[in-house]
Amino acid sequence: MLKANKKTLIITSILTVLPILIGVYFWDSLPDMMATHFGIDNQADGFSSKAVAVFGIPLLCLAVLWIGAVVTAHDPKKQNISPKLFSLGLWIAPTVSLIVAATMYTVNLGYTADISFVGGLFLGLLLTVVGNYAPKARQNYTIGIKLPWTLANEENWNRTHRFAGYLWVVCGILMVVLTLCKMTGSGWMIAVFAVAVLLPFIYSFWLHAGKGL
């Protein structure tokens, strides 16, 4: 699996650490203590040293990328993991790294950035994309909704992922709409995200309890 995706791994790894080069280029213009975390009101509420912000965050994303790739490649049921789903997973870390760097450098260089808008749009689009792939996910130990009953029962796994896929697409689209309407800080945004996270687990347990199978 790793050999088959060698080119993608190289490209995603380079993109993941690309923010380091950008940070080095702007090194002298960046403050010694950089804002690295922001609330939904776009106000900085977390700070890190320049070295941690420039080097640490991209390298952490790179570690997540490779750990995820290696663990997935050694899944006992790796034959059930579609190449498209595996490839999709590889692109999450570089995307996060680039988005975080773009917003972080913009703010720390003295410009204005709508962090909540960028975050809400990314989360909504990610949920929509993952939702499209979820119904096609076959039983495995690394990618998907891994609960004791989904791993023990293939029918539970399949029905849970079909349900989650449709739900995530709807919730993802709603989150994009709410973001475009400048409602990222509203209770509606939180409610939609909570529904997307909790309902698949509740539905899966309902099936496990014998209510739907």
In Å, what is the CA distance from 202 to each residue of 84, 196, 205?
Answer: 28, 11, 5
pLDDT of the residue at 1: 73
- pLDDT under 50: residue ranges of the chain: none
Maximum pairwise Cα distance, the chain: 62
Rounded-to-integer distance, Cα 101 and Cα 15, Å: 11
pLDDT of the residue at 153: 94
pLDDT of the residue at 213: 56
- Which letter does DSSP use for residue 153 in this model? -
Segments making up each domain of the chain, as ranges:
1-113, 114-213
pLDDT of the residue at 211: 62
In Å, what is the CA distance from 101 to each residue of 15, 21, 60, 105, 117?
Answer: 11, 11, 13, 6, 15
In contact, 50 and 27? CB cutoff 8 Å: yes
- Verdict on whether the full-model pTM lies above 0.85: yes
Token output for 70: 């290696």
pLDDT of the residue at 42: 80
Q: Which residue has the tokens 């290696």?
A: 70
pLDDT of the residue at 212: 58
Helix/strand/coil for 152: helix
Cβ-count burial 5-27 (b if 16+ within 10 Å, e if not):
beebbeebbebbbebbeebeeee
Rounded-to-integer distance, Cα 155 and Cα 205, Å: 13
End-to-end CA distance of the chain: 34
